[in-house]
Structure 1
Amino acid sequence: MAEVGSTVPRRQLGRYLRELRQQSGMTIAEVAKRIERGATTLQRLETGQADRIRLWDIEALCQVLGADATETEALKGLAQQGNMKGWWHEYGDLIPANFDVYMGLEAAAVSLTSYQELVPGLVQTPDYARVLIKQALPRTGEPEIARRVEMRMHRQILVNRRAQPILYDVVLDESAVHRVVGHRRIMAAQLRHLADVSTRPNVTLRILPYTAGVPLGELSGPFSVLNFDDADSGEPEVVYVESYTGALYFDDADSVERYREAHRALRQVALDPQRSRDLLRQAAREYDRER
């Protein structure tokens, strides 16, 4: 039997098409009629189950649904991505660099299991986020920086909302506590915020201390495992591994389980949630004293 590749690009394409259609207020039948395609074809596109995707259809859908130029190019790029075991999304290749593919996955997930070496975006303070974004985009103007900070803060509703917040289980390397982002006042505020967020019932945060050594025998780098928990759709879990120039997505069972095992190993030797909070608050006090 041929090995089934990653369906992440097609599923992401479907999500964005469905969101655009819902925003337009039109039904699947209405949109399908306008692009002269069958309703079943459009439904398969929206659910990521289309075996063959025609760029003409994507262009027509974007026009009917009022997608802007960036969205249109991004959706066409997703449509062209190959069905590989691991989907490598290089920033700025077929998909515009300022179109965040990952956000669609994150918004659809019901749980997120993660290992990080910097404070992750879902629990960053605005000041911490602003420093990182400005350093990553040194030639970007202040209005665009402010827009990106606002977008990152908006993502945090996934953790903070009252109804069905995402279940967030993160192991954070101790280096994130000591690596100064911006200045000490920013770090003190960020670590206090982390400690406070970790008291939420849907958030589990553990610090991986330096004393734990290298539990996996090698450095894995940051990763996230997203679970969608929808038995009806059969949508598989997705592993997201980000690098400086792009991101790798896996949804094959072997890769997902390997990263699941890695997270369990890191979690086992990390500090428990209370000791992690104590470390964060103690470090915040030290940053305050050293200002």
Structure 2
Amino acid sequence: MQDTGSTVPRRQLGRYLLDWRTRAGLTLVTAAELLDISHSSLHRLEHGQTGRIKIGQVEAACELYGVPEELAAAFTGLARQSNGKSWWHEFGDLIPRDFDVYVGLESAAVGIATFQPELIPGLFQTGDYVRALNRAAFPNASEELQDAWVQLKLRRQHRVTRKHRPASVSAVIGEAALRRINGSPKVMAVQLRKLADMSTLPNVELRVLPFRAGFPTGLWVGPCVILDFGITPAGSPVEPPVVFIEGSTVGNLYLEKPHDVERYHRTYDRIRQRSLDAVSSRNLLRQVAKEYLA
């Protein structure tokens, strides 16, 4: 059997192409006719079910749908990567560095489990917390760009706070994330209050791993996110789950092999079990917030 590589890039590419076809106001049948392919082929492409993607079809679709040049370059990069045997965010010049693949995956997930030992998870960050992080990381970025980054982060949170079918989130945050000051004590106080408030949502479970818990797995575990895409009526996954590991040097890593995903589930469960329960975590968040304003 031919190894067609990771399914992640072609699944994500399919989502983008479907979105842009919809924006262009084209039905599946009409778009397929204009692209001179069968509607079943276009359907498979949009649902990540094509074994090897024809780059020319992706380029033609981008032109037909009016996809901006920089995004078209990213989409064709996803197409080329999907035909490979590994899946990294940083892999030469296939995908522009400013194209965030993770955000697209997160927007499709119905369940998110995350462990963040040092930072507040992005889905819970306040605008001022985001701005302080980005100013430290990119001090020369313009105010307009800083504002855009903040708005992008806040828009992502709608997946959690919306009333209709919000994503379920289970998060464990290291106590260090509460104690390490980002921006100012006031920024941290507002941030921790927001965390405490969001932890009361029925679709959110938030726990704090206290310093006294030590290393639940016997090793230091870095930040990770497990993305789940739901179950079909027949009981099978809509899409295989993905583990996202953010990297600052070698690039972001996406794991989808079942044994890798299961290993991270076990690791997350062990960390969660050693964490404070939801009520104790909420109380600690509010206590530390008060300390920042004392």
Once residues 274 and 39 of structure 2 are traced to their aligned partners in structure 1, the CA distance between those partners, rounded to angstroms, is: 52
Name the TM-score, length of structure 2 as normaliser: 0.94
More divergent stretch after superposition (31-40 vs 106-115): 31-40
Q: CA deviation at 1:83?
A: 5.3
Task: Count residues with an aligned counterpart.
Answer: 289
Q: CA deviation at 1:91?
A: 7.6
Once residues 240 and 6 of structure 1 are traced to their aligned partners in structure 2, the CA distance between those partners, rounded to angstroms, is: 14
Aligned position for 2:283: 278
Q: CA deviation at 1:121?
A: 1.1
Secondary structure of 2:58's counterpart equals: helix
Secondary structure of 2:291's counterpart equals: helix
Secondary structure of 1:226's counterpart equals: strand
Once residues 78 and 121 of structure 2 are traced to their aligned partners in structure 1, the CA distance between those partners, rounded to angstroms, is: 25
Aligned position for 1:249: 254
Aligned position for 1:163: 164
Question: 2:172 touches 2:206 (CA, 8 Å); kept in 1?
Answer: yes
Aligned position for 1:195: 196
Aligned position for 1:71: 71
Q: CA deviation at 1:114?
A: 0.9
Secondary structure of 1:90's counterpart equals: coil
- The residue type paired with residue 244 of structure 1 is S
Q: CA deviation at 1:69?
A: 1.3
Identity of aligned residues (%): 46
Aligned position for 1:141: 142
List alignment gaps of at least 5 residues for structure 1.
none
RMSD: 1.7
Task: Report 1:1-291 matches (<5 A).
Answer: 5-82=5-82, 87-90=87-90, 93-117=93-117, 118-231=119-232, 234-245=238-249, 246-289=251-294
Once residues 281 and 11 of structure 2 are traced to their aligned partners in structure 1, the CA distance between those partners, rounded to angstroms, is: 36
Moved over 3 A (4+): 1-5, 82-86
Once residues 127 and 24 of structure 1 are traced to their aligned partners in structure 2, the CA distance between those partners, rounded to angstroms, is: 36
Secondary structure of 1:81's counterpart equals: helix
Q: CA deviation at 1:82?
A: 4.7
Once residues 138 and 98 of structure 2 are traced to their aligned partners in structure 1, the CA distance between those partners, rounded to angstroms, is: 11
List alignment gaps of at least 5 residues for structure 2.
none
